């Protein structure tokens, strides 16, 4: 494992990866712990903030795979989707629609962090370079 590829990246990429990794770990913790507690609510808010930061930071990273317009690509549509999901999940929790909140949060975690994360592990991408197989 080497941090050299990470350190050679732009600030936007470094921030994005750091925030995504924190969101991945914290999200798992929140999903598998007791729900509705003050700790769940506080950590959930932090997770939502991390997901928003991950989405927003992605807009400063030019698309290299499947670019659509300028520096924006298909992957940026996922970032828009995450921001929408966060809004819906917060609205659902605040209005007592806990089942919907759970669905939107879980879909965001699985789709954005696990789904996109799997794509980020493809050889040649930053994470694969850091882990020494790309």
Q: What percent of the chain has pLDDT over 90?
A: 78
**Cα(25)–Cα(27) distance, rounded to whole angstroms?**
5
Strand, helix or coil at 127? helix
Residue 134 has pLDDT above 80, yes or no: no
Q: Quickly list H helices, the chain.
A: 4-7, 11-32, 38-58, 74-94, 98-108, 116-120, 126-131
Helix 11-32 / helix 38-58 crossing angle, nearest 10 deg: 150
pLDDT at 60: 96
| pLDDT band with cut points at 50, 70 and 90 for residue 108 | very high
What's the pLDDT tens digit per position in 78-97? 999 999 999 999 999 999 99
pTM for this model (two decimals): 0.91
Q: Which residues does 46 contact at the CB level (< 8 Å), separation at least 6?
A: 26
Long-range contacts of 108-111 (CB under 8 A, 24+ apart): 108/51, 108/82, 109/27, 109/28, 109/31, 111/78, 111/81
Residue 26 has pLDDT above 90, yes or no: yes
What's the pLDDT tens digit per position in 39-68? 999 999 999 999 999 999 999 999 887 878
């Amino acid at each position: 494992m080497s941090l050299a590829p990470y350190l050679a990246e732009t600030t936007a990429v470094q921030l994005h990866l750091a925030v995504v990794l924190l969101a991945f770990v914290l999200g798992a913790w929140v999903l598998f712990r007791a729900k509705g507690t003050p700790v769940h609510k506080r950590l959930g808010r932090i997770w939502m903030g991390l997901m928003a930061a991950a989405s927003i930071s992605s807009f400063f990273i030019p698309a290299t795979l499947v670019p659509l317009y300028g520096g924006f690509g298909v992957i940026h549509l996922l970032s828009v989707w995450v921001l929408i999901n966060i809004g819906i999940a917060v609205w659902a929790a605040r209005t007592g629609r806990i089942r919907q909140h759970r669905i939107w949060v879980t879909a965001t975690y699985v789709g954005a962090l696990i789904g996109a994360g799997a794509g980020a592990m493809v050889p040649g991408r930053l994470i694969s370079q850091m882990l020494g197989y790309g």
